[in-house]
Structure 1
């Protein structure tokens, strides 16, 4: 079995020439993307569509952006990644609709064996990561291999997510843990105890979130 097949099957694999050839294509696209005039949103959007897979409706990625392959990243409409996002997409990264990534978010599917002998063999692995719909990931968050984050979740800044996070919660910390549930009582606030003004509240009330 060749190493690309092993990698995509979630088996231990070695980064041989064939693997690096795939990365070379992506690195050329990333160089073009990351050196594009940051005010040229049209070109950035076109290049982002070549780098990541999935729905490209209202998808926005701020440079610089880094990934291994891009074709292992599936994003839904309304996806936004702020500056300096890194996604090591050795394994599949599936991201739902209306997901917001703050600056310096890192999503890692890649890893190496714990034992030094196994590590020196050259084998590595990729375990998929899944993020649901309507998720906000705070700045400097790290998401590790195999994690599943449910719908409507907020992950606090600086968190290290090592285990699954259920839907409809605020979670934070290192390791990341559930802090509290998100309820309808949260809807009228835009920041802590600050309520939406009447003009903005009318727009908030018009938004429908699917279950």
Structure 2
């Protein structure tokens, strides 16, 4: 799965990993607002790595959690989804607005292959000082460069360079910063 090769999501080891993550997420998303310290502990146990300064607003969803690597000053707003079937790297000072969706997983284009249940996953890298606007979708295998802003509602289907503002579906650069 992490090698960007076909895999079966029903593999018992993967099911066990997802179940563990879902138990942590259930607790995280169910805690009362004044339980910030317990939420921090859960994210530290869930993510592969997370910086000292971060805030994640519930509800938050992911597949495994352990494939998410985040540096300092991460902010994830309400209703975000990270399908981390491959690694997701989040740089320092990353801001994810409400309902941002980050998908490493995809399915074969061939319908016969899709029937087998096979999936593929490609890593995603989001650089330092990146702001991704509300409802944006980041597709598998994407890299977003440092100091970039992705506009709300954008669908990022190709790499976006550093130091730009990019918007739309498909997402495209509209100006340099």
Normalised by the length of structure 1, the TM-score is 0.82
Q: In terms of mean alpha carbon deviation, does 128-137 or 46-55 score higher?
A: 46-55
Instruction: Indicate yes or no: 2:116 matched with 1:159.
Output: no
Instruction: Indicate yes or no: 2:21 matched with 1:26.
Output: yes
More helix by share: 1
**How many residues in Structure 1 have an aligned counterpart in Structure 2?**
176
SS of residue in 2 equivalent to 1:26: helix
Deviations 1:101-131 (A, max 9, x none): 0000000000110111010112101100000
* C-alpha separation in 1, matches of 2:149 and 2:67: 24
Whether the aligned pair in 1 keeps the contact of 2:132 and 2:152 (CA below 8 Å) is yes
Match of 1:132 among 114, 119, 127: 127
Normalised by the length of structure 2, the TM-score is 0.97
Deviations 1:63-82 (A, max 9, x none): 00000000100000000100
Unaligned segments of structure 2, at least 5 residues: none
Unaligned segments of structure 1, at least 5 residues: 1-6, 183-211
How far did 1:39 drift?
Answer: 3.1
Larger RCO: 1 or 2 (CA < 8 Å, sep 6+):
2
* C-alpha separation in 2, matches of 1:55 and 1:116: 38
More strand by share: 2
* C-alpha separation in 2, matches of 1:55 and 1:18: 24
